[in-house]
């Protein structure tokens, strides 16, 4: 599927990085944040089209692009294409980290168990993962610091001295408390843990210091859940796209 007119680019060489974060230039347009797509390509495309992205805008994604939904490959292909045309910053989620760990371990049993649980994953039947997906995942940072916000997949364990280098917590933590000093009094926006839509709206309206954005998009039709969310960071507007994968 082609979403943008472009020349076909050569296969990228695999470059592995261990960066914790990336520097983001100041934005002259609008900043948008999307979390936890989980293989829901149709829903993602519909949501992004609503944004009517401009070259001066910045789009941030908080990880977990794969698994659970039916088109993980399509989601990654779409994001890779999107990055060629717009300022798109994607973070690593725990599901991407799982893939990276399996590739490094090269354990067929791990791959077999994973494929049994996720038959629509990005893992091929011969237990390989396409180089373009490996390259994309290997270069995903763990968090981003903006002027007034931190963006991260799961959260930060502020009890740890090096909380901005603890990649396991940034990918996996569920329960954590805000620390104004370590967070520089900035708002933290995260995904990973599914929250009810009412609770998410409340946190945004109250300007809470922790804003969750994962509404469990893959739970199509579930009351209070089943939506892919996008936060307009300029206006604090929450853009809601219901799951349309079965439409």
Q: Ramachandran region of residue 66, left (φ > 0), alpha (ψ -120 to 50) or beta?
A: beta
pLDDT tens column, 121-148? 999 999 999 999 999 999 999 999 999 9
Residue 209 predicted with pLDDT over 80: yes
* Model pLDDT, residue 19: 78
What dihedral do alpha carbons 19, 154, 144, 177 form, nearest 10°?
A: -120
Instruction: pLDDT band for 230, please (50, 70, 90 cuts).
Output: very high
* Model pLDDT, residue 6: 33
* The CATH homologous superfamily of the domain defined by 31-242: Metallo-dependent phosphatases (3.60.21.10)
Query: What are the DSSP calls for 186-245, one per residue?
Result: -EEEE-SS---HHHHHHHHHTT-SEEE----TTSTT-TT--EEEEEETTT-PEEEEE--T
pLDDT tens column, 8-23? 333 334 444 447 999 9
Residue 5 predicted with pLDDT over 90: no
* Model pLDDT, residue 223: 95
On whether the pTM is more than 0.85, the answer is: yes
Region 51-77: mean pLDDT is 97
Residue 151 predicted with pLDDT over 60: yes
């Amino acid at each position: 599927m082609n979403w943008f007119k472009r020349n076909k680019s050569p296969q990228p060489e695999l470059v592995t990085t261990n960066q914790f974060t990336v520097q983001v230039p100041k934005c002259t347009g609008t900043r948008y944040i999307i979390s936890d797509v989980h293989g829901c390509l149709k829903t993602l495309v519909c949501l992004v089209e609503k944004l009517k992205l401009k070259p001066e805008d910045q789009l941030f994604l908080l990880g977990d692009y794969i698994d659970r939904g039916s088109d993980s490959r399509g989601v990654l292909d779409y994001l890779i294409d999107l990055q060629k045309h717009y300022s798109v910053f994607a973070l690593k989620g725990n599901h991407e980290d799982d893939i990276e760990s399996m590739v490094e371990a090269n354990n067929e049993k791990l791959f077999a168990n994973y494929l049994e649980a996720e038959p629509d994953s990005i893992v091929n039947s011969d237990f390989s993962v396409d180089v373009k997906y490996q390259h994309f995942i290997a270069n995903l940072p763990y968090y981003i610091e903006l002027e007034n916000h931190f963006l991260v997949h799961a959260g930060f364990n502020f009890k740890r001295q090096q909380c901005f280098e603890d990649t396991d917590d940034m990918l996996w933590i569920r329960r954590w408390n805000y620390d104004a000093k370590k967070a520089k009094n900035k708002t933290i926006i995260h995904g990973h843990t599914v929250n009810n839509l009412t609770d998410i709206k409340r946190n945004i309206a109250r300007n809470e210091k922790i804003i969750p954005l994962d509404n469990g998009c893959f739970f199509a039709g579930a009351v209070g859940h089943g939506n892919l969310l996008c936060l307009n960071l300029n206006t604090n507007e929450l853009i809601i796209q219901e799951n349309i994968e079965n439409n």
